[in-house]
């Protein structure tokens, strides 16, 4: 009942009749939900494991970092002290051989040697008789005598260098008041040809050496101080959980560098990982709720999509318009059944084909290729493109193509979608209607010309009869001897020529009215106009100017009919030129354009009003009180019979009317004009 109460608008949008009943997916949905719950539990366990792992990883990373820093510091101390020993070896060689005889280059020295305040004293201690307190540098003697413990470790150092033939250290040195200093002595032995020669000694301030050895980037995050068993008040290892030691590894000493890292903010990366995991967990909870609702919507959308596909397929199969999709390279992507029926090919024979296409006429392949290239580049206008296709059986059909862009979901154009309409019947009807219209127009013009011919015959019979009677009278007078032959004969001959000419005009017009072929001949318009208008050059009331030029202009025309048309237009111009306020002027010239020659007749008369320009060539329309209204109508019929036309406008120079009689050029004149254009 609810469906029957729906409005027609609702029914037009309802696809329920096309939608098939979807099978129940409840069990499948429950299985998917169980899988999602299991995945959620696995995710929770993973988060807990990640928290435990991150705590352990953070402690291990801190321990590893301490070990690496201690190892790096030990290696750095050993490197620089070994470099100091090398520097002292060089000084020992110089001391034995003399500074002037040293073959070593200038001494550059390592970091400890160059750093101010690190090496407090140095000097050569030669092997020989005498007690050690009386030999060597001054500071060496002072430290030897300061405390017996100093003398003991210094003697041990000297014995070590002599016996083990390597560098040795002594310290830390006690001061005279019993306090412990930061000074150690280093002794570098020197042997010459296997014989012990002596030691080169150097007193080193370990505090200054420590400052020099620790780089700035390390000191920014750590506090480094010297540690020895003899030093009192130093924090023991383990008193601070962050403190660690780095052994200095100086032979003969038991010294360490205690390193205390500054308080560094807790690592944010593990906590970020934890927050991300919690965020994902929250998103998973929300997704479970949204996904359950989305299942139902997807099923509804899928059913609607299937219904729309079925509807679209039915629409494509029912329309008679051919549909064709192709990409931008001209390859066909899709055709419907109507298009296949239109061209007589199966879809498998067309899809995938590129230009030239199988349904193109062979003789029009090049033209169609250009047309379709233009369609691919720019599409079609609103009116579409009319071309011809060839059916599989060989007959031609006219089609009208409209194109629409074929875009992807992202908006990128990949080709064009064409609607192809078979307009063969319409074109055939249009051609038949055009031929019928042409026949009607020709019949109308022939009726008008026939009427004119009849009128001309009727009007010219009386003057022709008068001319004939007058000629007979003159001949009678000649026979009677009342007038001399020299006086009369030229007049009579002229009257006879006019009579013959009038008769020929009547015959030509009547022949044209009866649709007989005209007597066309090749004419030079320049010579023709000069001959036809010679009688008007003596007109005193109006100045007739012939601006014809010297080059010949060839046309194919009936001389008598064309002369009649030109005479009529020129006489009309002479008449209206006298109506102007100034002295009458008429200009006759020839123009060229688009394979046609134009006889231009302009005057300085009042011109043709805008509202009369459409009617001026109609039969029986005349702007003159005594005119019949047939002159310009006859001129138009004569020009159209020659496949030309007659135009009227306002003359830009003289200001009056400007009539142009257009005639097709003959082949020779067309070739000459093209040659002149190429040379230009």
- pLDDT score at 18: 47
Q: Which residues pair with 645 in a beta bridge?
A: 662
**Residue 338 and residue 322: Cα distance in Å, rounded?**
5
Confirm whether 40 is domain-assigned.
Answer: no
133 compared with 376, residue with greater pLDDT: 376
Residues 531 and 656 in one domain: yes
Helices 559-577 & 631-641 angle (0-180, nearest 10): 140
At 602 the pLDDT is: 92
CATH number of domain containing 225: 3.30.450
Residue 62 lies in a domain: no
Q: Whole-angstrom Cα distance, residue 401 to residue 375?
A: 10
Cβ(599)–Cβ(535) below 8 Å: no
CB-based contact 10:18 (threshold 8 Å) = no
**Structure tokens that stand for 570 in this block:** 């020129």
Whether residues 564 and 647 share a domain: the answer is yes
CA distance between the termini of the chain: 86
* 392-415 residue pLDDT tens: 888 888 888 888 888 887 888 888
- Which residue is it, tokens 């073959």? 103
- At residue 600, the pLDDT reads 94
Q: Is 118 exposed, middle or buried (0-12, 13-18, 19+ CB in 10 A)?
A: buried
Q: What is the model's pLDDT at position 563?
A: 87
Please check whether residues 482 and 505 belong to one and the same domain.
Answer: yes
The verdict on residue 218 lying in a domain is yes
Provide the sign of the torsion angle of the four alpha carbons 370, 372, 373, 375, taken in this order. Answer: positive
Average pLDDT over residues 493-499: 72
551 lies in the same domain as 579:
yes
Using CA atoms, how far residue 678 sits from 602, 623, 675, in Å, is: 31, 45, 5
Q: Is residue 35 part of a domain?
A: no
Confidence class for position 561, pLDDT limits 50, 70, 90: confident
Q: Is residue 95 included in any domain, yes or no? A: yes
Of 232-246, 463-477, 530-544, 567-581, give the lowest mean pLDDT range: 232-246
Which helix (H) or strand (E) is 238 found in, with range?
none
Between 555 and 362, name the one with better pLDDT.
555
Residue 374 domain flag: yes
Residue 48 tokens read as: 């807990």
In order, the DSSP letters of 92-104 are HHHHHH-GGG--S
Q: How far apart are CA 130 and CA 523, in angstroms?
A: 148
Whether residue 418 sits in one domain with residue 342: yes
Task: Show Cβ contacts of residue 179 under 8 Å, excluding neighbours closer than 6 positions.
Answer: none
In a domain, 464, yes or no: yes
Q: Same domain, yes or no, for 327 and 375? A: yes
Percent of the chain with pLDDT over 70: 74
Q: Which residues are bridge partners to 255 per DSSP?
A: 228
Confidence band of 598 (pLDDT split at 50, 70, 90): very high
Q: Is the bond preceding residue 505 a cis peptide, omega within 30 degrees?
A: no
Cβ–Cβ < 8 Å for 613, 648: yes
Q: Are residues 643 and 533 in the same domain?
A: yes
Is 556 in the same domain as 673? yes
Q: What is the CATH number of the domain that holds 607?
A: 3.30.565.10
Distance CA 365, CA 242 (A): 89
Among 422, 454, 479, residue at a domain's last position: 422
**Which of 46-50, 111-115, 212-216 is least confident?**
46-50
Q: Which helix (H) or strand (E) holds 203?
A: strand 195-205
Phi first, then psi, for residue 603 (nearest 5°) are -140, 170
- What is residue 664's predicted lDDT score, i.e. its pLDDT? 92
Collapsing DSSP to helix, strand or coil, 304 comes out as helix
**Residues contacting residue 641 through CB under 8 Å, at least 6 positions apart:** 512, 518, 561
The pLDDT value given to residue 601: 93
Q: Which one of 122-131, 197-206, 306-315 scores highest in mean pLDDT?
A: 197-206
- Mean pLDDT, the chain, rounded, equals 76
**Residue 385 bridge partners (DSSP):** 401
Strands (E), 460-579: 521-524, 542-547, 554-557
- Say yes or no to pLDDT of 112 above 70: yes
Residue 148: CB partners within 8 Å, gap ≥ 6?
A: none
Residue 439 DSSP SS3 = helix
CA gap 511, 561 in Å, rounded:
11
Q: 140 in a domain, yes or no?
A: yes
Is the pLDDT assigned to residue 341 strictly greater than 80?
Answer: yes
Does residue 609 share a domain with residue 536?
yes
Cα 418 to Cα 362, 373, 415, distances in angstroms: 22, 14, 10
Instruction: Check whether 332 has a pLDDT greater than 60.
Output: yes
| Count of beta carbons in the 10 Å neighbourhood of residue 380 | 18
216 in the same domain as 121: yes
Of all residues in the chain, the percent with pLDDT exceeding 90 is 5
262 pLDDT exceeds 60?
Answer: yes
- Number of other CB atoms surrounding residue 336 within 10 Å: 20
pLDDT of residue 663: 92
The confidence score (pLDDT) of residue 511 equals 57
Structural domain count, the chain:
5
* pLDDT recorded at residue 430: 83
pLDDT at 209 over 80: yes
The 10s digit of each residue's pLDDT in 428-483 is 888 888 877 776 666 556 655 655 565 565 456 556 665 776 677 777 777 777 77
Sort strands 584-593 and 542-547 into parallel, antiparallel or unpaired.
parallel
pLDDT the model gives residue 670: 58
Our measurement of the distance from residue 3's CA atom to the centroid of its chain's CA atoms, rounded to an integer in Å, reads 53
pLDDT value at 586 more than 80: yes
Domain that holds residue 451: 424-516
Please indicate, yes or no, whether residues 299 and 186 belong to a single structural domain of this protein: no
Of the listed ranges 38-42, 395-399, 526-530, 642-646, the least confidently predicted one is: 38-42
Q: Using CA atoms of 149, 155, 156, 160 in order, give the dihedral in degrees to the nearest 10.
A: 160
Residues with Cβ within 8 Å of 478's Cβ and at least 6 positions away in sequence, in order, are: 485, 488, 489
14 confidence band (pLDDT: 50, 70, 90):
very low
pLDDT recorded at residue 229? 58
The CA distance from 552 to 673, in Å, is 11
pLDDT greater than 70 at residue 23:
no
CATH number of the domain to which 417 belongs: 3.30.450.20
Domain boundary among 472, 498, 516: 516
Note the pLDDT of residue 151: 86
Q: Characterize 52-73 residue by residue with b for buried, 16 or more Cβ atoms within 10 angstroms of its Cβ, and e for exposed.
A: eebeeeeeeeeeeebeebbeeb
**What b/e readout covers 442-473, taking b as 16+ CB neighbours within 10 angstroms?**
eeebbebbbebbeebbeebeeebeebeeebee
Same domain, 585 and 621: yes
**Cα 477 to chain centroid, rounded:** 97
Decide if pLDDT at 660 tops 90.
yes
Cross-sheet strand order for the sheet of 222-228:
222-228, 255-261, 244-247
Among candidate residues 372, 395, 422, the one where a domain is terminated: 422
């Amino acid at each position: 009942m609810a469906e029957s109460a729906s409005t027609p608008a609702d029914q037009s949008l309802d696809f329920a009749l096309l939608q098939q009943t979807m099978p129940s997916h409840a069990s499948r949905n429950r299985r998917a939900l169980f899988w999602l719950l299991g995945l959620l539990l696995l995710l929770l366990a993973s988060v807990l494991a990640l928290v435990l792992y991150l705590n352990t990883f953070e402690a291990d990373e801190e321990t590893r970092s301490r070990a690496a820093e201690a190892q790096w510091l030990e290696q750095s101390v050993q490197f620089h002290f070994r470099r100091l020993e090398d520097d002292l070896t060089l000084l020992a060689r110089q001391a034995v051989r003399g500074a002037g005889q040293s073959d070593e280059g200038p001494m550059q020295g390592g970091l400890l040697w160059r750093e101010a305040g690190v090496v407090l004293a140095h000097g050569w201690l030669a092997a020989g008789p005498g007690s050690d307190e009386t030999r060597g540098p001054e500071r060496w003697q002072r430290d030897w005598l300061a405390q017996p413990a100093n003398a003991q470790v210094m003697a041990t150092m000297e014995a070590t260098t002599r016996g083990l033939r390597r560098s040795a250290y002594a310290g830390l040195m006690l001061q005279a008041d019993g306090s412990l200093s930061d000074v150690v002595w280093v002794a570098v032995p020197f042997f010459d040809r296997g014989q012990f020669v002596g030691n080169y000694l150097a007193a080193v301030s370990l505090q200054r050496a420590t400052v020099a050895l620790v780089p700035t980037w390390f000191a920014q995050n750590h506090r480094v101080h010297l540690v020895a068993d003899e030093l009192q008040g130093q924090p023991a290892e383990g008193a601070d959980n962050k403190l660690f030691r780095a052994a200095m590894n100086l032979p003969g000493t038991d010294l360490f560098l205690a390193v205390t890292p500054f308080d560094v903010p807790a690592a944010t990366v593990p906590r970020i990982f934890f927050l991300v995991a919690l965020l994902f967990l929250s998103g998973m909870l929300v997704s479970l709720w949204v996904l359950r609702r989305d299942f139902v919507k997807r099923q509804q959308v899928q059913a609607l999509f299937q219904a729309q596909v079925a509807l679209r397929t039915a629409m494509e199969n029912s329309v008679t318009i051919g549909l064709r999709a192709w990409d931008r390279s001209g390859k066909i992507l899709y055709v419907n059944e109507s298009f296949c029926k239109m061209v007589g090919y199966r879809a498998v024979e067309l899809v995938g084909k590129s230009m030239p296409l199988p349904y193109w006429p062979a003789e029009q392949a090049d033209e169609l290729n250009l047309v379709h290239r233009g369609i691919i580049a720019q599409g079609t206008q609103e009116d579409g493109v009319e071309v011809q296709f060839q059916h599989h059986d060989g007959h031609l059909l006219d089609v009208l193509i409209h194109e629409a862009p074929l875009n992807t979901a992202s908006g990128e154009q990949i080709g064009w979608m064409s609607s192809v309409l078979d307009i063969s019947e319409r074109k055939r009807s249009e051609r038949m209607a055009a031929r019928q219209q042409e026949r009607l127009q020709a019949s109308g013009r022939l009726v008008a010309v026939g009427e004119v011919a009849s009128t001309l015959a009727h009007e010219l019979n009386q003057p022709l009869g008068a001319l004939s009677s007058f000629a007979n009278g003159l001949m009678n007078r000649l026979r009677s001897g009342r007038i001399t032959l020299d006086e009369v004969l030229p007049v009579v001959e002229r009257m006879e020529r006019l009579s013959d000419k009038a008769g020929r005009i009547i015959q030509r017009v009547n022949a044209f009215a009866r649709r007989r072929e005209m007597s066309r001949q090749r004419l030079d318009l320049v010579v023709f106009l000069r001959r036809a208008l010679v009688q008007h050059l003596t007109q005193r009331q109006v100045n007739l100017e012939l601006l014809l030029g010297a080059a010949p202009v060839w046309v194919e025309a009936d001389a008598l009919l064309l002369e009649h048309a030109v005479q009529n237009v020129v006489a009309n111009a002479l008449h209206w030129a006298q109506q102007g306020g100034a002295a009458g002027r008429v200009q006759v010239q020839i123009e060229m354009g688009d394979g046609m020659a134009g006889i231009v007749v302009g005057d300085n008369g009042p011109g043709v009003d805008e509202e009369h320009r459409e009617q001026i060539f109609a039969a029986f329309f005349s702007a003159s009180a005594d005119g019949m209204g047939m002159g310009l109508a006859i001129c138009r019929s004569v020009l159209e019979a020659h496949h030309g036309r007659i135009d009227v406008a306002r003359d830009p120079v003289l200001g009056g009317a400007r009539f142009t009689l257009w005639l097709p050029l003959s082949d020779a004149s067309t070739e000459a004009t093209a040659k002149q254009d190429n040379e230009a």
